[in-house]
Amino acid sequence: MQHMRTSGPGDEVAALDVGAVSHSYGQKRALNDVSFSIAPATFTVLLGLNGAGKTTLFSLISHLYDTRHGSIRIFGHDIRRASGEALRRVGIVFQARTLDLDLSVYQNLSYHASLHGIGGREARQRIAALLETVDMQGRQHDKARSLSGGQMRRIEIARALLHRPSLLLLDEATVGLDIESRAGILATIRKLVQAEGIGVLWATHLIDEVEDADHVVILRLGDLVASGKVSDVTRANGGNSIRETFSKLSRVDAAGMAETSP
């Protein structure tokens, strides 16, 4: 299936540009002057241990929280000033399950389509095609409640793609899934980057989900400690592998303070 994406010439602009973003919960600093950008049609892994600030960053990018310090641009559209334009280009899979369990798969997807102004035959066609993409064809009339965790995730991915976004954000999308489901979902997303040219920001704390060709952004206690191609980040930090580099960069002492790299 070929996606008709909502950008076009705008592909020359960064898919996501995070500029000097800070965020606090009261006195507690969750993100501290974080800046990075990701190019269209790339798979970027947002790495960080629990509490690193990944979910906060997702909430800011998706405009659930207000970006009070710094700026976030999606294909050039500022999330504060032009949130509608920005959100039209983003598909989001949240860490928490967000399907309505009382509704069927089709009803869940159709609801999301309407929230993007897509209705009627067009919505039906897109739903059918995407269920095939995520290997869930024939399940549209099943209640969401009857699906397994992995199947729910697949439906959430299909839902995030319904409005043909150019940037897909996935927050810990494989948490709680078995190895087979994890691999299947990861493969589906990587295929989308290759085949459809969608930019992906994949937040995880599972280092084995990173491949050599990926880009990584590493957060530690709200600070950005590294970003770039896997090979560049590994080399720049004197590691032999991204696993070793990530382990070194995310090390935290017993008091919860980041340890300085030697």
Please list every residue from 119 through 138 that binds another protein, using CB under 8 A. Answer: 119-120
Q: Which of 22, 69, 71, 111 binds another protein (CB under 8 A)?
A: 111
Cα–Cα distances in angstroms (integers) from residue 136 to residues 1, 3, 42, 150, 188, in the given order:
15, 18, 25, 11, 12
Q: Which of 72, 105, 118, 147 binds another protein (CB under 8 A)?
A: 118
227 vs 211: CA distance, rounded Å: 14
39 binds another protein (CB under 8 A): yes
Residues 209-228 that bind another protein (CB under 8 A): 215, 217, 222-228
What's the closest the beta carbon of residue 59 comes to another protein, in angstroms? 7
Q: Which of residues 158-187 bind another protein (CB under 8 A)?
A: 159
Which H or E element spans position 137? none
CA pair distance 32, 21, nearest whole angstrom? 7
Question: Is 140 an interacting residue with respect to another protein (CB under 8 A)?
Answer: no
User: Do 11 and 166 contact (CB within 8 A), yes or no?
Assistant: yes
Contact 205, 47 (CB under 8 A): yes
Task: Kindly identify the residues of this chain, within the stretch 16-35, that bind another protein according to CB under 8 A.
Answer: 17, 20, 23-26, 28, 30, 32-35
Residue 118's region, left for phi above 0, alpha for psi from -120 to 50, else beta, is beta
Write each residue from 66 to 85 as x if it is in contact with another protein (CB under 8 A), else as -, in one continuous string. Answer: x------x-xxx--x--xxx
Applying CB under 8 A, does 107 fall inside the site for another protein? yes
